[in-house]
Structure 1
Amino acid sequence: MTDKARVVEPRDIQTKRLTVHTRMTGEDGFPVVFVHGNCSSSAFFETLLSRLPKGLRGIAPDLRGYGDTEPKPIDATRGMRDHSDDVASLMDTLGIQRALFVAHSAGAGVVMQLAIDHPERVAGLVLEAPVSPYGFGGTKDAEGTPCWPDFAGSGGGTANPDFAQRLAKKDRSAESQTSPRNVMNGCYVKPPFKAPNEEALLESVLSTRVGDAHYPGTFEKSPNWPGVAPGTTGMNNSFSPKYFNLSPFASISQKPDVLWIRGADDVIVSDTSLFDFGYLGKLGAIPGWPGEDTYPPQPMILQTRRLFERYAANGGRFQEEVLPDTGHSPHVEKPQEFERLAFPFLLEHAR
């Protein structure tokens, strides 16, 4: 769908909120804003940006705490609004009133929050492996009911401490199951897939700022299983259901079309997520699990589908596409299939 690879230009853009490192393609065309997920950066979109069809202008910021954007702290009590407000401010600085969005994983939570707060600014949404509308961890049914009143099992205390330590040390090895390289190759994609630009993607993962203000954030001790509850700062707390709830998306005043793309074998955002304490408890990987009635695996896919069904009942439109033999990053693992779905959608809604 592209004649030749487009040049991707890195730029540091000073907005009213912070300096945002941004990858960009072209000055003309309808704007498409690409928003990356947790423990990554805009570098995950480098190839996709270079293949963007004519008529579209690519803009891919690094979120605060990732890549080369100014690492201002993340106030998790605002949910993901620090990030969505940063994206809106970047659009303001670039003179963009309305844009299309392509968002991966936690980035989908950012752009859906932006759509709730500024629906008039969203022309269409491509959501790739989107985080549940009720965040990550601590909920037990399609409506996002919390397992415990303090939302234990979500937030900064749920991150693997060895992974976080290796991330902070910028460990490039493959010596441990929890090394960033092995987590990326084992969970971001479906093994045995290895990205041709593996080293660049690993560098992107290692750009994550580690600490209380960023990844994974703070946590509180809890009397409820698994013993940790959300803190108030940092990325993982920003998508704790204590602070993050996208249910208002179903009734926003203007309803952009939604293309939902996910991999059939995603182990991160899944009804059987290997990062969800409910599922890990059921597997016996975390002792003391209180059982299916109290703390079942979080039904992440079901939660997302129910929200979009309510969105459709209120006059919106969504399309769900599931790519077989694909993990958490369809645009990396199956680029041609992803582009075959996403590019026509973007061109159709570039108005």
Structure 2
Amino acid sequence: MTLLPGVRSATVDTDRLRMHYIEAGPTDATPIVMIHGNLSTGRFYEHLFLDLPDGYRIIAPDMRGFGDTEPLPIDATRGLADWAEDIGALLAALGVDRPPHLVGWSTGGAAIVRYAHNRPVASLTFIDPVAPYGFGGTHRDGKPCFADFAGTGGGTGAPELVSRLVAGDTSADSPFSIRSVMRAAYWAPTHVEPREDVLVAEVLKTVVGDDGYPGDSTPSPNWPGFAPGTRGILNALSPKYCDWSDIVELDPKPPVLWTHGEADLVVSDNSALDMGTLGATGQVPDWPGNDAFPPQPMVSQIRDVLGRYADAGGRVRTEMFAGSGHGPHFDARDRWIAVFTEFLDSR
């Protein structure tokens, strides 16, 4: 593994699983722990490390199901609790005894809130987090479109993407190859990622199948014919199991930074990956209509929940990145670092 200068790689046995992570900075400093999203690894933060503020220990693990961490199954019925507890186990194994600053991108956003319910944290930073009521199949208030949460979970994974992951496809020959998916969905189409080859190779380490990506599914009498299973990452993100709207209940309330790309195709009020959007645009037939299964208003839900967090006494800073996609820490890297640094200094 060839790392950027100043970045270290290690693997440690925790009391839950063997975890790989990269890090930079002094090992006795206050930690910044950066949790990646779905179909990514800790190395999706590596390009930020050396320009983050001095005086912090920066840690980016490969989470369960991804990268070089031990390939144990994801229990979706716990939402992102497996990830949250894995973070705690990692920090314990590393001897970290200070409340960390937690950063969560996409799926990682739900995990850091779950962590904060059980352990003290210095701050929470979201990068285009999954909506507080999970991914897909809910109305603005979080009420599910169907009682069995049909249209969410493992069944939403694109079969061709899965097969190309299994085949180790590094090409851009199909819109479903991971290289094409990253170019279309991870950052703005105007962004040319200099480390693209490294990141493609990282995603191809994903645990593919029922225990990882996408997970299993169950038949449903409701549109579009499937409901969540109990295993794997997409089921962990289903609103049946994933709900971080209870961030409002945190006491004490750590300061929150929400950063979001305004051109995000993944987490938006009309997500290109949401079954409601796909039905409304005719890409999935027999859509039951906007009243029954609307596109999930994901950004509006985030804004609503963080608004309640602020009303309950929490401090929230919101930064929207015009023109940025799902990863403003890639396509607006310098501004994202500046915003994050200012947020840390403001404490």
TM-score range, shorter chain: over 0.9
The amino acid across from 1:108 in the alignment is G
Question: 1:38 — aligned with what?
Answer: 38
Instruction: Tell me the TM-score normalized by structure 1.
Output: 0.95
Aligned residue in 2 for 1:75:
75
| d(CA) in 1 for partners of 2:299, 2:321 | 14
Partners of 2:274 and 2:124 lie apart in 1 by 26
Greater alpha carbon shift after TM alignment, 41-50 vs 340-349: 340-349
Work out whether residues 6 and 25 of structure 1, in 8 Å CA contact, stay in contact via their aligned partners in 2: no
Aligned to 1:294: 292
Give the SS at the match of 2:23.
Answer: strand
Residue 12 of structure 2 aligns with an amino acid whose one-letter code is I
Partner of 2:108: 107
Q: What TM-score, normalized by structure 2, do the two folds share?
A: 0.96
Residue 6 of structure 1: how far off its partner (Å): 6.0
Aligned to 1:7: 6
For structure 2, the 5+ residue unaligned runs are none
Residue-by-residue CA offset, 1:138-177 (whole Å, 9 max, x unaligned): 1122x21000000001100001010011012110011111
Give the RMSD, CA atoms, in angstroms: 1.1
**Counterpart of 2:180?**
182
The CA deviation at 1:224 is 0.5
Aligned-pair distance for 1:348? 3.8
Q: Using the alignment, how far apart are the partners of 2:341 and 2:199 within structure 1? A: 22
Aligned equivalent of 1:264:
262
What is the rounded CA distance, in whole Å, between the counterparts of 1:72 and 1:341 in structure 2? 35
State the one-letter code of the partner of 2:242: F
1:181 and 1:267 map into 2 onto residues whose CA distance is: 16
Matched to 1:130, the amino acid is P
The question of whether the paired residues in 1 share the 8 Å contact of 2:256 and 2:315 is answered with yes
Instruction: Report matched runs for 1:1-351 at 5 Å.
Output: 7-26=6-25, 27-97=27-97, 98-118=99-119, 121-141=120-140, 143-349=141-347
Spell out, residue by residue over 1:234-277, the C-alpha distance to the aligned partner (whole angstroms, 9 max, x if none).
Answer: 00001111111112211111101111001110000000100000
**2:122 match: secondary structure:** strand
3-state secondary structure, aligned to 2:235: helix
Q: Distance in 2 between matches of 1:303 and 1:139?
A: 10
Q: How far, CA to CA, are the matches of 2:78 and 2:14 in structure 1? A: 20
Question: How far did 1:93 drift?
Answer: 1.4
Per-residue Cα deviation, 1:98-128 (whole angstroms, up to 9, x for no partner): 100111110111101111232xx21001100
> What is the rounded CA distance, in whole Å, between the counterparts of 1:83 and 1:32 in structure 2?
16
AA in 1 matched with 2:102:
F
1:276-301 per-position Cα deviation (integer Å, ceiling 9, x unaligned): 00011111111000001000000000
Deviation of 1:336 after TM superposition, in Å, equals 0.4
Q: 1 CA distance for matches of 2:263 and 2:104?
A: 19
On the 8 A contact 2:110/2:243 being kept in 1, the answer is no
Contact 2:43 2:199 in 1 (8 A): yes
| CA distance, structure 1, for counterparts of residue 7 and residue 281 of structure 2 | 44
What percentage of residue pairs aligned between the two structures are identical?
45
- In 2, the alpha carbon distance for the partners of 1:61 and 1:346 equals 21
Q: CA deviation at 1:81?
A: 0.3
Distance 1:116 1:276 in 2: 28
Q: Distance in 1 between matches of 2:325 and 2:294?
A: 23
Q: Is the 8 A contact 1:6 1:51 kept in 2?
A: no
Q: How many residues align?
A: 342
C-alpha separation in 2, matches of 1:295 and 1:331: 32
8 Å CA contact retained: 1:217, 1:234: yes
* 1:343 shift after superposition: 1.5
TM superposition shift of 1:29: 2.2
Aligned equivalents of 1:328, 1:19: Cα separation in 2: 29
- Name the SS of the counterpart of 1:309 in structure 2: helix
CA distance in 2, matches of 1:244, 1:129: 16
Given that 2:77 and 2:241 are in contact with CA atoms closer than 8 Å, whether structure 1 keeps it comes out as yes
Q: What amino acid maps onto 1:133 in structure 2? A: P
Contact 2:36 2:63 in 1 (8 A): yes
Secondary structure of the 2:32 match is: strand
5+ long unaligned stretches in structure 1: none
**Aligned partner letter, 1:276:** D
Runs of 4+ aligned structure 1 residues displaced above 3 Å come to none
Alpha-carbon distance in structure 2 between the residues aligned to 1:150 and 1:173:
37
The answer to whether the 8 Å contact 2:136/2:151 transfers is yes
Distance 1:161 1:247 in 2: 31
| In structure 2, C-alpha distance between the alignment counterparts of 1:149 and 1:190, rounded to whole Å | 35
